[in-house]
């Protein structure tokens, strides 16, 4: 989809939709929002809806950052300590490596 | 690999014919053709690169409640540059100064010691694996990879029972034990025989890897890849838990418990369908163990530790057959062979557990006394020692019974070439199945062994405890038939010991002393059994005693006594079962169909509670080649020998054996030349560098244009 051909209201509507649906545990939508609308929000010359688009992009970026931090922390802890958790670690794993703890 | 590529060529040929049915038929036709030819005349590139090692014995991983022991390799195998270790000082090359780590170390058997292996264990990434070359003659100084105090925590001697006797405080039973088999290694250790394969390895090393005039060997170097990837980790509870996981994406079996069957037979038939206590039945248990192990998997010749005891007890059972039938003694004699005793008394602990829980045709209260035959190989001028438990002897009734048993043994030895004696009164029992019975009840019992206060067996639980150690050798140029007629010296002494055991058992069971002179063991039977266990089970005598479907399980090499994972036809257990049936049973005139249905005729449904019927293939009469089978009726039964810990699902218990064996991916070994170590260590890096070079070349060429 080429954003150039869309009128500004539709751009705003799209950005808002991606922002709102991203709350349903879909951080990739926020990533898409940030990457796709970055040029529209910060680089293009000002137009009437740009302010709202800018705010949506900023909030998407914030949400994305929170998700990335949480996931990275959890993944690091899991990979490092799963072996020591014994039964609990095995219970929450889908595949368990063979031959190493 | 080349077969697959040629197969694809033919698939594309078939696509020339565009009509689908025609293409399919042609495809199927060539597929079939190529399956026939794939084994023959395939000019495989793989065969030109790799030399596969054929007769290798790996070291595998075993787990118990708290530890894992044994060896592990990476999933695709550990690769290392070969290095033949000359001495312990030469370890420095492997561990610090060698320029091409990781190394695959080749050890002669004299260097396979605890100190060298512990140093290699600390090698931290520079040691890819170890290959031990098994010599053709046993090392004279002795070697025992077992612990110095076997079955320390699973017998009767704990702190509660008597702290002065626990943990071998009173006497160390296996002083040569270096405990290597109970260490954990993170690289594979294989054993190869000193034959053609090994010559290829050594030649490869001499040609490529040796240092010449102090300079480092240059690439290409000879390397070896050993693969023995084990799936289980940590301990039994963990691996059992991972076996049972249901929702995992890839459910894999990770480990299996060690176990097999115990074999027992009674001198007088008794109802085996009713379990639990039997009124008016008093039993003397004649016990022996049926298993052994070594550092490596699937090789456990156990000549002195196991085979001598089995053969003695079987010969004694044969000697007692007539006396127990014609002049039966008061008490029944129960000949019991326990499997899995090396691994914390699997068989005997299970039998005691079954007796306590009314799962066995007898009860612990039915047991009058126990006589166990431990390692009994002796030279003529030496004697046997009668071990008993000092703690239970403090009870006067037990003391009296033990003294009666000892006196019976001493008087039985009077007319024979064997002398018996008692060791120090305060000395504990050696590691023996009787200890598990003592744990349950203070039963009087004696363990017969050829050692006074520490094993005389220099190769206890190692791969050197073989026919050579027992001086059982048959001239090479004789056929199997002739070898069975030839009697080594050992046979005569073992026959004397068997006669001693038989007479003592008869007296202990309350038999009449006047019958003793008629009880003698047959040296020919002893010879045939020793030959079957120590040299080759596939011989003419044994082929007569087994049913037809077991004959292809008879091996052409010494019996492997390792208990392993439970299977229906395990080699030592089944051999003992059929031999015992032949020794104690009788031939009955019953049709094959009735025999296999455990009855004497169509209307008989009582016999199956008392007897076991086996149809064996027998011998071929002189004029024909068809064997004439017959039915053997005996009281031989199998009872399951899997640790109670697995029945109760208590995988962390210290009361029972918790040994399991890991499941592994295919075990292979091969040698090849390697051009540059970086390809083995980091293939991506290597190819990136190679591409980088090529790209620079290309740049250089185009810039000239």
Residue-wise pLDDT for B19-78, tens only, equals 445 555 555 555 555 544 444 455 688 888 898 998 899 999 999 999 999 999 999 999
DSSP H/E element including B699: helix B683-704
Between the two ends of chain A, the Cα-to-Cα distance in Å is: 48
Q: Which residues of B touch A100 (CB under 8 A)?
A: 233
pTM of the model: 0.86
Q: How far is B663 from chain A (nearest CA, A)?
A: 10
Q: What is the ipTM of this complex?
A: 0.76
- pLDDT average, residue stretch B397-416: 91
Query: Would you say residue B8 has pLDDT above 60?
Result: no
Strands (E), B48-159: 51-52, 56-58, 62-63, 68-69, 78-84, 103-108, 127-134
Name the burial class of residue B363, with classes exposed (0-12), middle (13-18) and buried (19+) by CB atoms within 10 angstroms of its CB. Answer: middle
Cα separation of B507 and B441, whole Å? Answer: 23
Task: Please enumerate in sequence order all residues whose Cβ is within 8 A of that of B161, keeping only pairs 6 or more positions apart, or say none.
Answer: B391
- pLDDT average, residue stretch B437-447: 94
A87, A95, A101: residue with CB nearest B233: A101
Query: Would you say residue B678 has pLDDT above 80?
Result: no
**A45 has a chain B CB within 8 A of its CB:** no
> The tokens of B283 are what?
């039993």
| DSSP annotation of A4 | G
Q: DSSP string of B371-411?
A: EEE------TT--EEEE--TTGGGSHHHHHHHHHHHHHHHH
Assign B81 to helix, strand or coil: strand
Cα separation of B302 and B307, whole Å? Answer: 6
B232, B249, B252: residue with CB nearest A94: B249
Between the two ends of chain B, the Cα-to-Cα distance in Å is: 42
Q: Which residues in B607-641 are b (16+ Cβ under 10 Å) and which e? A: beeebbbbbbbbeeeeeeeebebbbbbbbbbbbbb
Question: CB count, 10 Å around CB of B77?
Answer: 21
Three-class SS of B473-532? CCCCCCCHHHHHHCCCHHHHHHHHHHHHHHHHHHHHCCCCHHHHHHCCCCHHHHHHHHHH
> The tokens of B468 are what?
């050579």
Mean pLDDT (chain B, rounded): 87
Q: Do A90 and B241 touch (CB under 8 A)?
A: yes
Q: Which residue has the higher pLDDT, B97 or B16?
A: B97
pLDDT tens per residue, range B414-430: 888 888 999 998 999 99
Among B94-103, B220-229, B398-407, B442-451, where is mean pLDDT lowest? Answer: B94-103
Partners of residue B103 on adjacent β-strands? B81, B127
- pLDDT average, residue stretch B149-158: 92
3-state class percentages of chain A: helix first, strand second, coil last, to nearest 5: 75, 0, 25
Nearest chain A alpha carbon to B61 = A99
CA distances from B117 to B130, B550, B616 (A): 9, 41, 48
Query: Would you say residue B298 has pLDDT above 50?
Result: yes
Q: Do A95 and B250 touch (CB under 8 A)?
A: yes
Contact B138, B465 (CB under 8 A): no
Q: Which residue has the higher pLDDT, B344 or B696?
A: B344
Query: Where residue B215 falls among pLDDT bands split at 50, 70, 90?
Result: confident
Query: Where residue A30 falls among pLDDT bands split at 50, 70, 90?
Result: very high
Three-class SS of B306-371? HHHHHHHHHHHHHHHHHHHHHCCCCCEEEEEEECCCCCCCHHHHHHHHHHHCCCCCCCHHHEEEEE
- Going by their DSSP bridges, the two strands B283-289 and B332-338 should be labelled as parallel
Q: Which residues of A touch B241 (CB under 8 A)?
A: 87, 90
Question: CB count, 10 Å around CB of B569?
Answer: 10
Cα separation of B680 and B692, whole Å? Answer: 19
Task: Please enumerate in sequence order all residues whose Cβ is within 8 A of that of B434, keeping only pairs 6 or more positions apart, or say none.
Answer: B287, B348, B370, B372, B443, B445, B447
Nearest chain A alpha carbon to B254 = A98
**Dihedral over alpha carbons B450, B456, B460, B466 (to 10 degrees):** -80
Question: CB count, 10 Å around CB of B44?
Answer: 12
Q: Do A99 and B250 touch (CB under 8 A)?
A: no
Q: Do A90 and B245 touch (CB under 8 A)?
A: yes
Q: How far is A94 from chain B (nearest CA, A)?
A: 5
Task: Please enumerate in sequence order all residues whose Cβ is within 8 A of that of B160, keeping only pairs 6 or more positions apart, or say none.
Answer: none
Q: Do A99 and B72 touch (CB under 8 A)?
A: yes
| DSSP annotation of B304 | I
């Amino acid at each position: 989809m080429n954003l150039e051909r869309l009128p500004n209201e539709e751009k705003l509507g799209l950005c808002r939709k991606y922002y709102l649906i991203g709350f349903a545990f879909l951080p990739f939508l926020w990533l898409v929002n940030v990457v796709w609308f970055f040029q529209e929000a910060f680089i293009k010359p000002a137009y009437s809806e740009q302010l709202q688009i800018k705010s949506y992009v900023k909030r998407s970026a914030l949400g994305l950052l929170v998700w990335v931090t949480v996931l990275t922390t959890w993944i690091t802890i899991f990979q490092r300590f799963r072996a020591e958790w014994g039964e609990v670690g095995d219970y929450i794993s889908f595949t368990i490596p063979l031959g190493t703890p | 690999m080349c077969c697959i590529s040629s197969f694809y060529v033919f698939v594309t040929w078939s696509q020339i014919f565009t009509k689908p049915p025609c293409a399919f038929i042609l495809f199927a036709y060539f597929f079939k053709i190529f399956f026939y030819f794939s084994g023959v005349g395939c000019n495989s590139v793989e065969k030109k690169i790799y030399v596969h090692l054929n007769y290798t014995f790996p070291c595998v991983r075993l787990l118990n409640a708290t530890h894992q022991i044994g060896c592990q390799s990476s999933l695709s195998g550990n690769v290392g540059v070969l290095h033949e270790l000359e001495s312990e000082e030469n370890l420095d090359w492997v561990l610090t100064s060698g320029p091409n780590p990781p190394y695959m170390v080749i050890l002669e058997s004299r260097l396979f010691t605890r100190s060298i292996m512990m140093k290699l264990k600390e090698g931290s990434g520079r040691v890819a694996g170890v290959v031990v070359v098994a010599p053709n003659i046993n090392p004279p100084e002795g070697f025992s990879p077992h612990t110095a105090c076997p079955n320390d925590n699973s017998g009767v001697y704990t702190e509660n029972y008597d702290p002065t006797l626990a943990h071998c405080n009173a006497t160390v039973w296996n002083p040569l034990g270096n405990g290597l088999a109970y260490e954990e290694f993170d690289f594979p250790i294989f054993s190869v025989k000193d034959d053609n394969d090994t010559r290829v390895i050594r030649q490869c090393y001499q040609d490529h890897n040796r240092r010449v005039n102090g300079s480092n060997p240059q690439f290409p170097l000879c390397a070896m890849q050993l693969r023995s990837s084990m799936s289980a980790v940590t301990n039994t509870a963990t691996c059992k838990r991972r076996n049972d996981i249901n929702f995992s994406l890839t459910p894999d079996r990770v480990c299996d418990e060690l176990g097999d069957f115990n074999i027992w037979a009674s001198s007088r038939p008794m109802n085996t369908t009713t379990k639990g206590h039997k009124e008016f039945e008093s039993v003397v248990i004649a016990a022996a163990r049926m298993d052994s192990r070594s550092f490596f998997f699937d090789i456990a010749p156990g000549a002195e530790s196991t085979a001598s005891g089995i053969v003695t007890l079987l010969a004694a059972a044969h000697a007692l057959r007539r006396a127990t039938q014609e002049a039966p003694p008061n008490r029944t004699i129960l000949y019991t062979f326990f499997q899995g005793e090396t691994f914390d008394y699997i068989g005997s602990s299970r039998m005691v557990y079954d007796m306590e829980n009314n799962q066995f045709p007898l009860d612990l209260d039915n047991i009058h006394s126990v006589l166990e035959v431990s390692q009994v190989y002796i030279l003529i001028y030496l004697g046997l020692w009668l071990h008993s438990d000092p703690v239970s002897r403090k009870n006067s009734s037990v003391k009296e019974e033990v003294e009666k048993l000892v006196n019976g043994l001493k008087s039985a030895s009077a007319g024979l070439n064997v002398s018996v004696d008692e060791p120090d009164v305060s000395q504990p029992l050696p590691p023996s199945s009787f200890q598990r019975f003592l744990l349950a009840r203070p039963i009087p019992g004696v363990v017969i062994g050829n050692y006074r206060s520490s094993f005389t067996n220099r190769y206890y639980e190692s791969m050197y405890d073989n026919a050579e150690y027992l001086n059982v050798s048959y001239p090479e140029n004789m056929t199997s038939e002739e070898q069975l007629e030839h009697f080594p010296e050992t046979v005569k002494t073992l026959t004397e010991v068997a006669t001693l055991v038989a007479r003592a058992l008869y007296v202990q069971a309350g038999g009449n002393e006047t019958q003793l002179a008629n009880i003698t063991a047959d040296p020919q039977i002893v010879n045939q059994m020793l030959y079957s266990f120590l040299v080759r089970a596939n011989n003419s005598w044994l082929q007569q005693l087994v049913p037809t479907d077991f004959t292809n399980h008879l091996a052409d090499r010494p019996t492997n006594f390792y208990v392993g994972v439970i299977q229906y036809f395990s080699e030592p257990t089944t051999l003992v079962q059929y031999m015992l049936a032949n020794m104690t049973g009788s031939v009955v005139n019953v049709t094959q169909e009735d025999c296999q249905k455990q009855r004497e005729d169509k209307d008989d449904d009582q016999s199956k509670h008392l007897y076991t019927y086996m149809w064996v293939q027998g011998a071929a009469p002189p004029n024909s080649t068809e064997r004439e089978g017959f039915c053997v009726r005996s009281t031989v039964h199998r009872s399951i020998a899997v640790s109670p810990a697995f029945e109760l699902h208590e995988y962390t218990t210290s009361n029972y054996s918790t040994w399991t064996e890991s499941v592994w991916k295919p075990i292979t070994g091969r040698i090849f030349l390697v051009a540059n170590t970086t390809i083995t260590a980091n293939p991506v890096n290597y190819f990136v560098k190679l591409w980088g070079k090529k790209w620079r070349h290309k740049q250089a060429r185009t810039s000239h244009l």
